[in-house]
Structure 1
Amino acid sequence: MRKVEVVPHDRHWQSMFEAESQQLAIAFGDNAIAIYHIGSTSIDTIYAKPIIDILIAVKDIGKVDNRNTQIESLGYIAMGEFGIAGRRFFRKDNELGIRTHHIHTFEEGSAQIDRHLAFRDYLKSHPEAAQAYSTLKQQLAHQFPADMEKYMDGKADFIQQIDIKAGEW
């Protein structure tokens, strides 16, 4: 069972994303259109789980499966759609077994790309919403330190509300 850890923003997260995105651009090849830093580590004012979330927009989602060997050579595990139709999800742990990266891959034109980017950009532009999210995450991590599922469930309503606001924004 993974420990729920939420920590203050680390200024190194952006450079970690940039270094990883360079390697991923090679691994995904010419199918990759854009690579984005998403999730709480991309928002420099809030607490986050220390896991770099990466969104990769691709030309053809079916071709991603053909690149699994290259992506796995970077330390990732291919998880398939992992609960979201049309996605290819990868996760990476460090040598101690601690999760460090997630890759969310969607085909160009997927509403999921717009949703993730709108959520990130909304929180960057609305500090009060970002701080409310940060506070909620800290409270849930304290309340459920060993239950990632309950932590995630506890954020669901807030995320849904921000998704709606970000979509209207």
Structure 2
Amino acid sequence: MAKELWEMTLEELWGLFPIILKEYNTAYPKWYEIEKEKLVENFDDGTIVRISHIGSTAVPGIISKPTVDILMEISSRSNISLITDKLKSMKWGLMNFSKKPIFRQTYSKGYTKYGFEEKVYHLHVRYADNWSELYFRDYLIEHPEVAKEYVDLKMQLKEKYEHNRDAYTDAKEEFISKYSEIAKIQYKERYKITPV
């Protein structure tokens, strides 16, 4: 009988959920919209300041992990315990949580003790701010040559870190930071938001 996810070691989890890169799926935007609607419905009290599709599945045409990343920006006055309870009741599993240096929560859907479901999601809950992920997404969409470089990098890293998700993510950081900073200069204050 398969172990429950919470019983598995990190190595077992990485073995069960390796880095998989797939061709772009035109259903990704629809998958995002389905979950976005549910979130907006369940948090109709002003908790959500902005909600966005981020990550590689938000960039049409590029190879990516088949995981739809959603950034849910919340008011700094939000009750975190209530948000956590509500998301858990919506079948989101809390993957990690940190308060320092900044508040971040990451939830997931689509992970089972037998492997990935067809639809896999990560939900990033943060206080509303000028997040780099929004700029990086736009830059890749508007600069296909940089998007291709990013795909090439991911393909190389997948070979090296197929069963080490943390190392795979860390190894992309320099590239992402470089182009996020360029995008922030080019797009100026496109995603600046007044803290609430």
State the TM-score bracket (shorter-chain normalisation): 0.7 to 0.9
Q: Deviations over 1:109-151 (max 9, x none)?
A: x233xx1211111111111111110111112112222121221
- For structure 1, list consecutive stretches of 5 or more residues without a partner in the other structure: none
**TM-score, scaled relative to structure 2:** 0.76
Aligned residue in 2 for 1:123: 140
Moved more, 92-101 or 64-73: 92-101
- Whichever residue aligns with residue 116 of structure 2, its letter is I
Of the candidates 9, 21, 31, which is equivalent to residue 6 of structure 1? 21
Aligned residue in 1 for 2:116: 98
**Contact 1:28–1:64 at 8 Å: present in 2 too?**
no
Aligned residue in 2 for 1:63: 79
Asked whether 1:40 is paired with 2:52, we answer: no
- Whichever residue aligns with residue 49 of structure 2, its letter is I
**TM-score, scaled relative to structure 1:** 0.88
Of the candidates 92, 108, 114, which is equivalent to residue 76 of structure 1? 92
Aligned residue in 2 for 1:49: 65
Q: CA RMSD in A?
A: 2.0
Query: How far is 1:93 from its partner?
Result: 2.7
Q: Which of 1 and 2 has greater Rg?
A: 2
Aligned residue in 2 for 1:20: 35
- Whichever residue aligns with residue 185 of structure 2, its letter is E
Query: How far is 1:65 from its partner?
Result: 2.7
Matches of 1:82 and 1:136, distance apart in 2? 31
Aligned residue in 2 for 1:166: 183
Matches of 2:148 and 2:183, distance apart in 1? 16
Query: How far is 1:74 from its partner?
Result: 2.2
- More helix per residue: 1 or 2? 1
SS at match of 1:57: strand
- Whichever residue aligns with residue 98 of structure 1, its letter is F
Asked whether 1:85 is paired with 2:102, we answer: yes
- For structure 2, list consecutive stretches of 5 or more residues without a partner in the other structure: 1-13, 187-196
Distance change >3 Å, CA 56–CA 130, structure 1 → 2? same
Identity %: 27
